[in-house]
């Protein structure tokens, strides 16, 4: 029934791959300290690709203090046709140490059927999925299409609320498709139905006005690092469960992951135990997770025999669906303040927060994408969660509460998103583009 779309994507595939490679070559790193001009160049390259795909009204959207966004559209073919907003982001994470990459991070390289490079899976492939689905319909899909490409997703979508407020009418749609997730595995598509939320804070402890000789005063007065370590150790119990009272746990997911596969995909060292209780997916999607992200303290190199007077750490908590970030932050702050021993001075600075989110899988949008996956993959998608947080999903839901939200993508657990040697299975690019093209047809009714 949809073999014409499969044939179209097959014919287009060299162009789609070339487009992805062109995007990957742009080091559009949105993080502070990197050249914002390269991010703008990423927006310009993305806009040019939308034009080549046949979209109209291509423009760069501006907001003071923000990296630019990109917009384009194709009007609905009739008054009863729905309008679909297709989202992806063109900014990427920094590559990290070059020596950890097997290939240059911004020079796309194929090996073993995978394309390596920063942004191949997160999320420049999302742009190519959208243009591929549109091209498969020869630039005239049977629904209205709007494309919105963000340039700040990797820094928490800091200005997205401002974009949605200023350009609300421009971006309004009946269905929103977010291509920023991943498949369950190569050959097994997924629709993401839950996201964990996020809170973080910085704890600072102080025991002395200044550093003093450890031989003269050690054993009488505590150093700040020892105080900090004891406070941080209180955040988990002996099994590795998060020990902060009051955090929500969700229901166990119906699907589970293989522990050996999870170890392999995460690159866990031999002999390292798992932490927490429950199934792998329960711990990843339906429970809180707490990490100590960083510590400010004297480096080992050059350290001296001194009682350290002050130390700081950043703590991050992923929140299960159903939890409330404000309440969870209060619980975390109370716990840390109460866990600091020996009367040390403590200050906890509240940081970022993001709501967890659960998506409603009923309705025509999910039916349409399942039809697309059945055709492209020969099977329906599994419903999965994401252990990470995507704050903009809540922002879109708040701005357009009537719209169906669909969260999809083309990466897989071996894509090493955010890490060195990020990659994309090229077969997933082909199949995912076919699935989205079929979904657009199915949405037309």
Catalytic center residues: 91, 153
**10 Å Cβ neighbour count for 78?**
10
Largest CA distance in the chain: 84
Asked if residue 421 lies in contact with residue 183, where contact means CB atoms within 8 angstroms, the answer is no
Task: Sort 104 into a burial class: Cβ within 10 Å, 0-12 / 13-18 / 19+.
Answer: middle
Helix (H) or strand (E) holding 280: helix 280-281
- Cis amide prior to 340 (ω within 30 degrees): no
Cα distance between residue 231 and residue 312, in whole Å? 11
**10 Å Cβ neighbour count for 232?**
17
Torsion of CA 70, 74, 75, 76, to 10 degrees: -120
Q: Which residues pair with 108 in a beta bridge?
A: none
DSSP of 32-67, one letter per residue? TTS-HHHHHHHHHHHHHHHHHTT-EEEEEE--TTS-
Cα distance between residue 221 and residue 217, in whole Å? 6
Helix (H) or strand (E) holding 22: helix 3-24
Closest CA to 149 of 42, 53, 286, 265: 42
Residues with Cβ within 8 Å of 440's Cβ and at least 6 positions away in sequence, in order, are 84, 133, 134, 137, 141, 142, 143, 145, 368
Task: Name residue, tokens 């009923």.
Answer: 362
Cα distance between residue 340 and residue 198, in whole Å? 23
Cα distance between residue 440 and residue 133, in whole Å? 8
How many whole angstroms from its chain centre is CA 28? 16
Task: Name residue, tokens 């006005």.
Answer: 209
Q: Where are the alpha helices (DSSP H) in 53-147?
A: 124-136
**10 Å Cβ neighbour count for 342?**
11
Cα distance between residue 133 and residue 429, in whole Å? 11
DSSP 69: E
């Amino acid at each position: 029934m949809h073999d014409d779309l499969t044939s179209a994507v097959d014919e287009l595939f060299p162009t789609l791959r070339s487009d992805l490679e062109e995007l990957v070559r742009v080091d559009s790193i949105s993080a502070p300290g990197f050249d914002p001009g390269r991010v703008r160049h990423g927006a310009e390259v993305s806009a040019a690709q939308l034009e080549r795909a046949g979209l109209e009204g291509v423009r760069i959207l501006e907001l003071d203090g923000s990296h630019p966004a990109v917009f384009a559209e194709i009007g609905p073919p009739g008054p009863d046709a729905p309008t679909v907003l297709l989202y992806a982001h063109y900014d990427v994470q920094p590559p990290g140490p070059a020596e950890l990459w097997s290939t240059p991070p911004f020079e796309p390289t194929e090996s073993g059927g995978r394309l390596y490079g920063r942004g191949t899976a997160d999320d420049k492939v999302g742009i190519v999925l959208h243009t591929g689905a549109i091209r498969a319909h020869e630039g005239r899909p049977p629904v209205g299409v709007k494309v919105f490409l963000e340039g700040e997703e990797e820094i928490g979508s800091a200005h997205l609320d401002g974009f949605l407020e200023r350009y609300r009418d421009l971006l309004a749609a009946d269905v929103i498709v977010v291509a920023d997730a991943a498949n369950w595995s190569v050959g097994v598509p997924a629709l993401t139905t839950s996201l964990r939320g996020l809170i973080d804070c910085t704890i600072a402890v102080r025991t002395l006005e200044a550093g003093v000789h450890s031989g003269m005063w050690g054993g009488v007065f505590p150093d700040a690092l020892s105080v900090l370590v004891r406070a941080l150790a209180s955040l988990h119990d002996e099994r590795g469960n998060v020990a902060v009272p009051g955090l929500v746990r969700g229901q166990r997911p119906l699907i589970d992951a293989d522990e050996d596969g999870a170890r392999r995909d995460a690159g866990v060292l031999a002999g390292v135990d798992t932490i927490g209780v429950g199934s792998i997916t329960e711990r990843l999607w339906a429970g809180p997770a707490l990490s100590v992200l960083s510590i400010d303290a004297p480096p080992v190199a050059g350290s001296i025999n001194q009682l350290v007077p002050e130390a700081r750490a950043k703590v991050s908590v992923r929140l299960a669906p159903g939890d409330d970030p404000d309440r969870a932050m209060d619980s975390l702050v109370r716990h840390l303040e109460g866990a600091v021993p020996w009367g040390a001075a403590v200050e906890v600075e509240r940081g970022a927060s993001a709501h967890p989110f659960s998506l409603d899988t009923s309705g025509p949008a999910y039916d349409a994408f399942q039809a697309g996956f059945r055709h492209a993959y020969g099977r329906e998608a599994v419903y999965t969660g994401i252990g990470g947080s995507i704050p903009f999903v809540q922002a879109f839901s708040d701005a357009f509460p009537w719209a169906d939200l669909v969260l999809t993508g083309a990466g897989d657990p071996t894509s090493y998103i955010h890490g060195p040697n990020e990659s994309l299975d090229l077969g997933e690019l082909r199949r995912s583009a076919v699935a989205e093209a079929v979904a657009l047809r199915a949405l037309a009714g």
